[in-house]
Homo-oligomer: A and B are copies of this chain.
């Protein structure tokens, strides 16, 4: 299925091309980050890249060691008010209930089938895990990929009426490309499902499947009746790529410490901490969602109510200040947020 997504002239491709030549008149063509205002955040990125890639600089990093890790939800694309993968799982509930009718009268499936969004929004994390297990596992990895691919082509975000894959942040796509152009290997390190993100990561972020580190379910190898082998996604958690699970997953999947790490919530704290604990020049940045008009404003660090997902707490803000992590303020640091903006 991956090949199908890639070979078609999809919306994805349009998105990937859209960040070229998007700068305003005042920005020189050579600016690698045209959607960023010329603020301290942008300057910190450029200084980091120049320091670590200039031969002779005492903090020069050999190209083979240049690793940069990015959280996805809330860092590379919109995650508010609900993770896209959860939307997908909720959308799949009717399909699953059709195959397993006994679930129709069992919670939390009953609530999801009611369509009452206010009640659905109140589901506990335990309930969400039940839904994720029931909708995203016990199927072959090929079926899973085919289903996600199909859904992404048709599903639309209710606010922007666009495919979810267009809700990526243009400044971050520019940042990914800028780092890669300077020899950095870019990784996604997401609390979301590794296989889910892999379906579109190449097309949307230019990141191949092997550079997506995420939450991993058990995988088991077995055979069809005709003897052909296949892999199944088991309802079993193998790696929970959140909080301390991020540096742990980075070690298992990458085997070395990043030089730069980007996040937006408490789930990214340990990844940034681990990154900054390395020798030499290291960059740690957090996206703050403070733009209610162009995107969203949420989180206790802004004095706004806590949210279920992607929480930017006051403690995280204080930690960032103490540790020298740099805050990316969407409102002031980003000239343009989405590629589809005029």
- Which residues of A are interface residues toward B (Cβ below 8 A)? 2-3, 64-65, 141, 185, 194-195, 198, 202, 208-210, 212, 216, 219-221, 228-229, 231, 238-239, 244, 247-248, 251-256, 270, 273-274, 277
Contact = CB atoms under 8 A, between A and B. Distances in A.
A277 B254 CA distance: 27
A174 B247 CA distance: 35
A248 B229 contact: no
Contact of A255 (B195, B247, B277): B195
Nearest to A255: B209
- List the 10 shortest-distance A-B pairs measured between CB atoms, nearest first: A209-B255, A221-B244, A219-B248, A210-B254, A221-B247, A219-B251, A198-B255, A231-B251, A229-B277, A221-B248
Contacts of A255: 194-195, 198, 208-210, 212
A237 to B, nearest CB: 12
22 contacts: A3-B65, A64-B208, A141-B251, A185-B210, A194-B255, A209-B256, A210-B256, A216-B252, A219-B251, A220-B244, A220-B248, A221-B244, A221-B247, A221-B270, A221-B274, A229-B273, A229-B274, A229-B277, A231-B247, A231-B251, A238-B238, A238-B239
Given A195-B255, A221-B274, A64 B248 contact: no
Of A65, A185, A219, A221, chain B has the most CB atoms within 10 Å of the CB of A221
Nearest to A243: B221
B221 A256 contact: no
A45 B216 CA distance: 34
Of A239, A251, A255, chain B has the most CB atoms within 10 Å of the CB of A255
Nearest to A271: B221
A219 B210 CA distance: 20
